[in-house]
A and B are shown apart, each in its own frame.
Chain A
Amino acid sequence: MVVLAIIALFLGIICGNLVFPEQITNYLSGVSDYILYLLMFCVGISVGMNKMVFQKIKEYHFKIFIIPIGIIIGSIIGGACSVLILDIPLNECIAVASGLGWYSLTGILLSNLGGATLGTIGFLSNLMREIISFMIIPYIAKRFNKFTAIAPAAATSEDTTLYIIMKSTSEEVVIMAIFNGVICSAMVPILIKIFYPMFL
């Protein structure tokens, strides 16, 4: 998926820069709103189909929510701190950080809300989060504890980074990682929609 996403982005840039006339570019951005709705509908179906997650809530009670809550709070604080370094408004920094590693959706949503530049920052930043997570999860599991190993992965802990989490921790943590990924993924569009219009 990472390769496909990067190829699609590059092809798009080339077509937008050299191939497509302005009418096609405008038409595409109009159509993309409808494609986005269709995508969100399908994402909703995927989240709803994950029934195992709802059983686990009963088993672990509220404790299972601690990791996703911690990740969301930590990411928002980190995003807010970025405003001290970057020349980007606070709401945009937090909205990018709210992507929680789900680069494709964040890029699309932010592009829809704040234009192509913000969309691209959202895409690149969250793609980097996934790649960096791959590299640091084994170290985090050793240096901190096995639960913290899920923290950098955020929304990707249910799919792309699950294998490396499994390798670095235990089965119990894998279940938590899947749960965390589902919760974080479901929260990404909600957080972006909440934080983008804030502090304006």
Chain B
Amino acid sequence: MAIIIVMSIGFLIGYFIFPKKWKGKNDRIQILLTTLLIFSMGVSLGSRENFLKDIIGMGWESLVLCVLPIIGSIIVVYGLSIVAFKNKKH
């Protein structure tokens, strides 16, 4: 919950007072923080004992959890778009 609150505070600051000229700086900070966090995720992953064995299983699980949501999204959006944008279909 705290994460959502922090994000909402950021949202309000971005909407009302954050200067446009600092947009690039904000983007760069995000890239830096993201890289740090992914590095830290890698560290906790690498420090596990059965790391090599685990990573093979994870690849297959990740693929399934990628392909099925893509198929689901395509089916639902296609269905909804036919109903909602009837006249605009090319």
Question: Which residues of the other chain, A, contact B18 by a CB distance below 8 angstroms?
Answer: 45, 48-49
Question: Which residues of the other chain, B, contact A172 by a CB distance below 8 angstroms?
Answer: 88
Contact with B along A60-84 (1 / 0, CB 8 A): 0001001101110111111101100
Question: Which residues of the other chain, B, contact A48 by a CB distance below 8 angstroms?
Answer: 10-16, 18
Contact B77 A51, beta carbon cutoff 8 Å: no
Contact A66 B84, beta carbon cutoff 8 Å: yes
From A32, A70, A81, contact of B81 by CB (8 A): A70
CB < 8 Å A-B pair total: 299
| B2, chain A: closest CB distance, angstroms | 7
Report the contact-size class of chain B (Cβ under 8 Å from the partner). Answer: 35 or more
Report the contact-size class of chain A (Cβ under 8 Å from the partner). Answer: 35 or more
Contact with A along B9-42 (1 / 0, CB 8 A): 1111111101010010011011101111111111
Bound complex: CA A146 to CA B81 (Å): 9
Contact A28 B3, beta carbon cutoff 8 Å: no
Contact A79 B68, beta carbon cutoff 8 Å: yes
Contact A74 B3, beta carbon cutoff 8 Å: no
Residues of B at the A interface (CB closer than 8 Å) are 1-4, 6-16, 18, 20, 23, 26-27, 29-31, 33-48, 51, 54-55, 58-59, 61-82, 84-85, 88-90
